[in-house]
Structure 1
Amino acid sequence: MEIKFRCNCPFTSALDILGDKWMLVIIKQMLIENKETFKDFTESDEGIATNILATKLKQLEEFVLITKSKLPTNKKSVYYHLTEKALELTPLIIELGIWSDKHLREVHPTMGNNESVEFLRNDKAGFGSMLIENYIEKLAKTKN
């Protein structure tokens, strides 16, 4: 796949890949909600259409943000996992969550407000470390 960038600006170039409506949502679902199969994504609250999901997963794989594999114990299902490159987006996802919590509650009063959001508010570095550690632990268990 040939990637076409609009310009040479590093911010715009990142948005050319990640600025799509679904790309960060899928990464967030994998990191925070433990989604890892096509079925997991289709059953999520975000309601992504299957054709769009298939395209976005393929693009994420081509950008080396995810890998796909089959487990030795289940050769039928395809499992998607974040790469190190994708895990490095964790601070960006955290900052988006903090910004949303601070600025969107008045227009989205039913937005989640649970222990995880409280942890995010009080200790964003700790929250980010916890997400990455939990993800790496889960990944290690899946591969064993």
Structure 2
Amino acid sequence: MKTIERRSTCPINYSVEIFGDKWMLLLLRDLMFNGKNSFLEFRASDEKISSAVLTEKLNILLNEGIVSKVTSPKNASKFLYLLTEKGIELVPFMVEFLNWGSKYNPDGGPKSLLERIKKNKKKAITELQDKLRSQQHAYTENRINAF
């Protein structure tokens, strides 16, 4: 697995080294806003990430503790990627990215989420984080109950 070589201890540098390319932000988008969790779902995104790049980026997210990898309860040969608490803490950041992007590119974005954000950003963020925590908890419970 590829590890990130840190250039410095600067917090901004740390963030840029993890999220400083388009693929990481698009993977977070798919996990947070589009309900995607599997390798094939990520590959089916409009941006057409290659399998090699996707594997590399998922491994970085795993190594950094931003996602966890669990076996699908429906198919034991399929893995799902879920945001950890560390990843869920990125929701406010991604909401701001979504907001900014929708302001200057109004043709895109999840309309219902954007409307909820405009109405009450803090509530929309909390609801999204709670939904992601519930998802993580449900898969964790399924794994525990399987034993």
TM surpasses 0.5: yes
Distance 1:33 1:129, change over 3 A: same
Separation (CA, whole Å) in 2 of partners of 1:75 and 1:113 = 32
The structure 1 segments of at least 4 consecutive aligned residues displaced by more than 6 Å after TM superposition are: none
Counterpart selection for 1:119 from 116, 119, 128 = 116
- Please state how far the C-alpha of 1:87 moved relative to its aligned partner: 0.6
Cα drift, residue 72 of structure 1: 4.4
Equivalent positions of 1:1-144 (< 5 A) are 1-102=2-103, 104-105=104-105, 109-112=106-109, 114-142=111-139, 143-144=141-142
Cα contact 2:88–2:133 (8 A) shared by 1: no
Query: Structure 1 residues 100, 128: closer, same or farther in 2, change over 3 A?
Result: same
Secondary structure, aligned partner of 1:48: coil
Identity of aligned residues (%): 30
For residues 137 and 100 of structure 1, what CA distance do their matches in structure 2 show?
A: 27
Alpha-carbon displacement from aligned partner over 1:96-118 (angstroms, at most 9, x marks no partner): 1122222x23xxx5223622211
Count of aligned residue pairs for this structure pair:
140
Gaps of 5+ in 2: 143-147
CA RMSD of aligned residues (A): 1.8
Taking structure 2 as the reference length, the TM-score comes to 0.84
- Which segments of 5 or more consecutive residues in structure 1 lack a partner in the other structure? none
